[in-house]
């Protein structure tokens, strides 16, 4: 008895298309960049002087979007956040995000007087400032779910002394690394 045979490929050369290695690598790299940018890191451009002298207009930095999924911001961190409604000024274009330094956390009391920032009654050591604040604020008790943030350019920054506390849910990430200009590149 003969054996049953299926369709024969005799005489036909079946060739599947295989993408070149460079194309596979390019697509994989692109997917990786999109994933990292979407969930881990994001480049940012500094457009104002509110964080001078730490960050200057034209500086470029990398925002870490991942670390605050595992812990809350810490005092001294420079954060990227969505402005709360009370910070938006009528007639001004809406900024996609802002950067400020975390000064006080939930449960702490902050006050600004006589050119000094006090947290829980203790003067804050701020070697990054060029000029002491020329205004008075507080005392303010920071409730749960809120942060008190200030720009390093204290007298030219719209921040918690101006518009109040920042909801912690508005935080988008941490300013992690300045990469431009290269002469000032490094961790923040």
Give Cβ neighbours of residue 98 (< 8 Å, ≥ 6 apart). 50, 80, 81, 82, 83, 87
**Contact 152/188 with Cβ under 8 angstroms?**
no
d(CA 69, CA 99): 18
| Catalytic site includes residue 100 | yes
Which of 50, 65, 157, 160 is catalytic? The answer is: 50
d(CA 178, CA 55): 9
Matching residue, tokens 């994001």: 42
Kindly compute the dihedral angle of the four CA atoms of residues 79, 81, 85, 87, in this order, to the nearest 10 degrees.
Answer: 40
Which of 65, 100, 157, 160 is catalytic? The answer is: 100
Positions marked catalytic: 50, 100
């Amino acid at each position: 008895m003969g054996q049953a045979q299926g369709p024969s490929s005799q005489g036909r050369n079946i060739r599947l298309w295989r993408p070149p290695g460079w194309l596979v690598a390019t697509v994989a790299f692109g997917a990786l960049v999109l994933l990292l940018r979407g969930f881990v890191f994001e480049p940012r451009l500094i457009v104002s002087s509110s964080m001078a002298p730490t960050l200057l207009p034209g500086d470029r930095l990398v925002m870490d979007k991942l670390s605050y999924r595992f812990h809350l911001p810490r005092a001294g961190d420079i954060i990227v956040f969505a402005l709360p409604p009370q910070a938006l000024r009528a007639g001004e274009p809406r900024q996609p995000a802002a950067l400020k330094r975390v000064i006080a956390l939930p449960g702490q009391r902050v006050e600004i007087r006589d050119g000094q920032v006090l947290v829980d009654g203790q003067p804050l050591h701020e070697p990054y400032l060029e000029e002491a604040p020329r205004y008075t604020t507080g005392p303010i008790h920071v409730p749960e779910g809120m942060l008190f943030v200030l720009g390093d350019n204290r007298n030219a920054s719209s921040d918690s002394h101006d518009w109040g506390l920042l909801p912690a849910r508005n935080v988008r990430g941490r300013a992690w690394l300045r990469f431009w200009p290269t002469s000032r590149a490094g961790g923040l």
